[in-house]
Amino acid sequence: MPQIQTNMSEASSKGSVSREDSGYSSGESSPASSPLKRHESDSTQAPLIRVVAAMNEFFLNDMLDEAVEVMRELVHPNAMGEALRGSIVAILEKKDLEREKYNKFLTGLVSSGHLSGEQSVKGLSHFLDSYDDIVIDVPKVGDYVASIVATLYMAGALDDLGFMLSLPDENNFSYSMGIFDLIVKSAVVVASLKDQETAKELVTASLREKTPLDDMQQEQLTRAVEKCSAQYLL
């Protein structure tokens, strides 16, 4: 199975990353110091540091083409799902401006063809497996992830959000009370990025395989819509 490449040296003292350098930007904490570190296994810590380094460097210099090229050299296309999952965990504790730039980073990876739809679904699914645990550390994780999901949808990486309703039983999110909340929040972000009709089409397409919903699911969907004041989605 293709793995995230780890043949880059540690970051320079200035925190920059290039084809020869990797590591965290100056002033950024490493995964080891993060309260979210328990969601990362030892085997993924080192590769993740290099992925996050490329992301951090983009936050500093806004050079998207260079960041995408570095990611091409760091991560095999078939390992981008794991890179996406890890980078989402890392971005949760960043500031609003950096989260906005992260969405541009993802859009660049999708438009370049390096982050495919298949790998996007794979990475999101793996991340969502720990969603209910992460929300303890990051109460606003739903808002942050909805923005990421909407970005991937608008970039063309996701056809709809039906994968959230089709996760295998071993994925903890398949039992989560937050599924419909995340779908609705993501659609609301899409409405803000484009229009309400597109957002409604997204929800309709996402629920197609689960229609009709059972009573509990319908109640969860209705509550999520009411909470977001997004009656236009129904």
> Each residue of 150-208: pLDDT tens digit?
999 999 999 999 999 999 999 999 999 999 999 999 999 999 999 999 999 999 999 99
Residue 191 three-state SS: helix
HSE, side-chain direction, 13 A CA sphere, residue 201: 10
Q: Yes or no: say if 179 and 173 are a contact pair by the CB < 8 Å rule.
A: yes
Of the candidates 101, 117, 102, 113, the residue with the CA atom closest to the CA atom of residue 72: 113
**How far apart are alpha carbons 64 and 61 in whole angstroms?**
8
* CA angle in degrees (0–180, nearest 5) for 129-134-137: 175
> Each residue of 116-166: pLDDT tens digit?
999 999 999 999 999 999 999 999 999 999 999 999 999 999 999 999 999
Q: With a cut of 50, say whether residue 46 has pLDDT above it.
A: yes
Q: What is the pTM of this model?
A: 0.83
CA 176, 37, 53, 143 dihedral sign is: positive
Mean pLDDT of 62-87: 96
Which tokens belong to 18?
Answer: 């290039």
Q: With a cut of 50, say whether residue 98 has pLDDT above it.
A: yes
- Close Cβ partners of 75 (under 8 Å, ≥ 6 residues apart): 4, 5, 51, 83, 114
